[in-house]
């Protein structure tokens, strides 16, 4: 049994180890290790297309996770105050946002946005006073919006779970002592749900940062890191891609460790 479990762990980690190992390969070849070198990290960091994609991914992930953290938390608090029916509708929609395959979310967003742009752009052009009317198009905005959908669902679920386990008595005590609802929120509720909001933010960030398929549909001419990596893989894996991949792995690992640490707070509190 022990041998079997060891084998599974080897199975899980060998591919990751190979990616990391070959990112330090001196040669170009992705299969023969010819010596240790960090040159591919240098090449990756000097690659402007790659750095632009990385910057896009960071901006998108940060914005959509930020929106998700704020609006998702608001929704989680608001849902507590809704009637049973409205709450069920919300629960259903959030569940749908998570269960519906990313490929379908990407397509549906693409189709809807193209329709909306086709309708709105002539209108803007008609009323625009200057020569060059601004045109809405796919890009940052559409990726952030599409990512925002499921990251918001994620944050709402995490924060809602935390709120459900919150002690009511302390909230009531606060209001008995004539604290305004806002003061109660700021001094009693917020500090207790803050770790789960942060955890939700970090998970949302990781999801958005790692997402390939949704961005693939709604990115327009913008490139994110996963789209760049995917395109490069099709041209043939190079140690440069391994170097990027290793950096991505280390980054998402770091974020996950922090998120898990924050979520553990809820059991110790």
Partner 1 sequence: MPFTPATNRRLVTAALVSPASIWLFVFLVLPFIAIIVFAFGERAPEGGYQAAFTFAQFANLGSRAAAFKNTLILAPIGAFACLLVAYPVAYYLAVKASAKYRLLLVSLVVVPFWTSLLVRTYAWMYILGARGIPHLLEMVGIENVRLLNTPGAVLLGIVYGYLPLMIMPIYVSLEKLDRRLLEASADLGARPLSTFFGITLPLSLPGVMTGIALVTILLLGEYLIPQLLGGGKVFFIGNALVDLFLQSRNWPFGSAIAVTLVVVVVIVVLIAMRIAWRVAGTRQVDLV
**Stretch 134-153 residues interacting with partner 1 (CB under 8 A):** 145-146, 148-149, 152
CA 27 – CA 175 distance, rounded (Å): 68
To partner 1, the closest distance from the beta carbon of 129 in angstroms equals 28
Closest CB to partner 1 among residues 12, 46: 12
Please select the residue that binds partner 1; options are 5, 84, 127, 177, rule is CB under 8 A. 5
CA 185 – CA 178 distance, rounded (Å): 13
User: What count of residues does the chain have?
Assistant: 269
Please select the residue that binds partner 1; options are 74, 133, 136, 194, rule is CB under 8 A. 74
> Residues 177 to 236: which contact partner 1 by CB under 8 A?
181, 184-185, 189, 199, 203, 206, 210, 212-213, 216-217, 226, 229-230, 233
To partner 1, the closest distance from the beta carbon of 130 in angstroms equals 28
Q: Per CB under 8 A, does 125 bind partner 1?
A: no
46 CB neighbour count, 10 Å cutoff: 10
**Helix 239-268 / helix 225-235 crossing angle, nearest 10 deg:** 140
Q: Per CB under 8 A, does 58 bind partner 1?
A: no
Q: Per CB under 8 A, does 269 bind partner 1?
A: no
Q: Per CB under 8 A, does 243 bind partner 1?
A: no
Confirm if 60 and 141 have CB atoms less than 8 A apart.
no
Q: Per CB under 8 A, does 101 bind partner 1?
A: yes
Q: Per CB under 8 A, does 109 bind partner 1?
A: yes
CA 91 – CA 98 distance, rounded (Å): 11
Closest CB to partner 1 among residues 62, 212: 212
Q: Per CB under 8 A, does 77 bind partner 1?
A: yes
Q: Per CB under 8 A, does 10 bind partner 1?
A: no
> Residues 23 to 52: which contact partner 1 by CB under 8 A?
29-32
């Amino acid at each position: 049994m022990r041998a079997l479990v060891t084998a599974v762990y080897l199975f899980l980690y060998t591919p990751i180890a190979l990616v990391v190992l070959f990112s330090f390969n001196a040669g170009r070849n992705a299969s023969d290790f010819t010596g240790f070198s960090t040159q591919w990290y240098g090449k990756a960091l000097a690659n402007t297309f790659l750095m632009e994609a990385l910057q896009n991914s960071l901006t998108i992930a940060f914005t959509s996770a930020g929106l998700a953290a704020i609006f998702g938390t608001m929704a989680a608090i608001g849902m507590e105050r809704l009637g049973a029916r409205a709450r069920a509708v919300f629960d259903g929609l959030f569940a749908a946002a998570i269960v519906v395959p990313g490929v379908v979310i990407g397509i549906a967003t693409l189709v809807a946005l193209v329709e909306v742009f086709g309708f709105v752009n002539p209108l803007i052009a008609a009323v625009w006073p200057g020569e060059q009317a601004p045109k809405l198009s796919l890009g940052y905005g559409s990726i952030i919006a599409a990512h925002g959908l499921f990251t918001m669902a994620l944050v709402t679920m995490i924060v809602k779970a935390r709120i459900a386990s919150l002690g009511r008595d302390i909230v009531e005590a606060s209001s008995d002592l004539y604290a305004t609802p806002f003061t109660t929120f700021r001094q009693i509720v917020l500090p207790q749900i803050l770790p789960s909001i942060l955890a939700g933010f970090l998970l949302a960030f990781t999801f958005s940062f790692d997402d390939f398929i949704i961005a693939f549909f709604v990115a327009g001419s913008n490139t994110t890191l996963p789209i760049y990596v995917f395109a490069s893989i099709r041209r043939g894996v190079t140690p440069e891609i391994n170097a990027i991949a290793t950096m991505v792995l280390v980054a998402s690992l770091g974020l996950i460790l922090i998120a898990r640490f924050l979520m553990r707070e809820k059991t110790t509190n």
